[in-house]
Amino acid sequence: MARKRIREEEDASIDMTPMLDIVFIMLIFFIVTTSFVKEAGIDVNKPEASQAQKKPSANIFIAIRANGEVWMDKRMVDVERVAANVERMVAEQPTDLVVIQADKKAEHGVVVQVMDQVKEAGIDKISIAAETN
């Protein structure tokens, strides 16, 4: 009689398969619905503007440091390679807006070169990031 009682306790177990299925489905849902933003990867001191406007969020950010370094997708790129990188990023996630985050001490010549490269990549909407007063 004692053996029968032990066997009944061993057979009672909880099936974890449905719970794991739900967890994996939720994981896939969150991965698919997440907005993938390609940030520049550095912080810059943006210039202040009293007439700055809030723009719709963009997926591609380009940062320009005071020393002229151009950063995209958390890595430094050459100014001549900006168009190719923008085309690659647009192919991965289509967008029609690029935000340029230029340091307030960056040379405007570098900013204009980056803007030309973005236009060459086929993006017509370019926003320059600024701090509000």
pLDDT for the residue numbered 58: 74
Instruction: Give the pLDDT band of residue 17 (cuts 50, 70, 90).
Output: confident
Higher pLDDT, 16 or 6: 16
Helix, strand, or coil here: 100? strand
Give me the percent of the chain exceeding a pLDDT of 90: 31
pLDDT over 70 (residue 84): yes
pLDDT over 80 (residue 85): yes
pLDDT for the residue numbered 6: 55
Pick from 118, 77, 127, 122: nearest CA to 100 = 127
- The DSSP result for 17-81, as a single string, is HHHHHHHHHHHHHHHHHS---B--SS---PPEETT-------SEEEEE-TTS-EEETTEEE-GGG
Distance, CA of 51 to CA of 13 (rounded, Å):
66
Count the Cβ atoms, other than its own, within 10 Å of residue 110. Answer: 18
Reported as a single tens digit per residue, the pLDDT across 31-78 is 877 766 556 666 677 777 777 777 667 778 899 999 999 998 888 999
- Least confidently predicted of 3-17, 25-39, 70-84, 85-99: 3-17
